[in-house]
């Protein structure tokens, strides 16, 4: 995967994305995640890889200062169309190279983005960089279990699926191990498809 190819892929995904990833199991999972989240009033919240704005539709607190970024102009256009009268700042931006100052946000939401970007570590590193000292990163994504070893057929399938714009072989434990000296896991639990999709909340060690 690379950014240029992802733009092409998600241009194709944009008309049908909500029908798949904002309905049924995915919608139920998103609802459970955000019903449990209690954002502080006036908090600065960043949605990384906001897509068509599926997560934004579930936010109840209108006093938040929300910024939403996505690499795909087509996906972003869908999101903007849903919130054309809301005070949300929509920006076309690469999640691996964010144009924000260090420690800019109280909360960062990353739904189905780490498994999509070309370099998940760069994306997570950027999320950590722009997170305030006492902030939280909320992740909803698919990961293989820490003990799973991909068979040859699954490795081949992974290559094919990556061509379609996502990674089915990402292991969160491997990703997080590069940052565990500075970060801690506050919550990690399965939310969908027998634990393939997880809700993970991380914060900085202070």
- Domain ranges for the chain: 3-204
- pLDDT of the chain, 206 residues: tens digit per residue: 678 878 888 888 889 899 988 899 999 999 999 988 889 989 999 999 999 999 999 988 778 999 999 999 999 999 999 998 778 999 999 999 999 999 999 999 999 999 999 999 999 999 999 999 999 999 999 999 988 888 888 889 888 888 888 999 999 999 999 999 999 999 999 999 999 999 999 999 98
CATH of domain 3-204: 3.40.50.150
Beta bridge mates, 48: 69, 110
Q: H or E stretch including 156?
A: helix 152-163
What is the pTM (predicted TM-score) of this model? 0.94
Using only C-alpha atoms, what is the Rg of the chain?
A: 16
CA-based nearest residue to 147, from 123, 171, 127: 171
Query: Nearest to residue 31, comparing CAs of 201, 191, 189?
Result: 191
pLDDT of residue 1: 66
Contacts of 121 (CB under 8 A, 6+ apart): 175, 178
Q: Between the CA of residue 93 and those of 50, 90, 97, 145, what are the distances in Å? A: 11, 9, 8, 30
The pLDDT of residue 6 is 82
Q: At what angle do helices 73-82 and 3-13 cross, to 10 degrees?
A: 40
The length of the chain is 206
- Residues 51, 178: Cα–Cα separation, whole Å: 27
Contacts of 26 (CB under 8 A, 6+ apart): 20, 54, 192
How far from 68 is each of 138, 139, 144, 146, 199, CA to CA, in Å? 14, 15, 27, 31, 20
pLDDT of residue 113: 97
pLDDT of residue 2: 79
Please tell me the predicted confidence (pLDDT) of residue 95: 97
């Amino acid at each position: 995967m690379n950014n240029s190819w992802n733009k092409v892929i998600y241009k194709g995904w944009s008309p049908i994305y909500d029908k798949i990833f904002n309905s049924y199991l995915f919608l139920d999972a998103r609802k459970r995640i955000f019903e449990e989240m209690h954002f502080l009033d006036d908090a600065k919240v960043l949605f990384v890889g906001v897509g068509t704005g599926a997560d934004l539709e579930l936010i109840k607190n209108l006093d938040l200062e929300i910024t939403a970024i996505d690499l795909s102009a087509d996906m972003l256009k869908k999101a903007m169309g849903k919130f054309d009268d809301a005070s949300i700042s929509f920006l076309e931006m690469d999640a691996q190279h964010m144009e924000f100052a260090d420690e800019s946000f109280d909360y960062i939401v990353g739904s189905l983005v780490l498994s999509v970007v070309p370099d998940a570590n760069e994306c997570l590193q950027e999320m950590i960089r722009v997170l305030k000292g006492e902030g939280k990163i909320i992740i909803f994504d698919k990961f293989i279990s820490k003990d799973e070893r991909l068979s040859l057929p699954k490795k081949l399938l992974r290559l094919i699926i990556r061509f379609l714009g996502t990674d089915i072989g990402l292991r969160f434990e491997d990703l997080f191990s590069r940052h565990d000296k500075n970060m801690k896991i506050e919550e990690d639990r399965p939310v969908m498809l027998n634990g393939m999709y997880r809700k993970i909340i991380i914060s900085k060690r202070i």
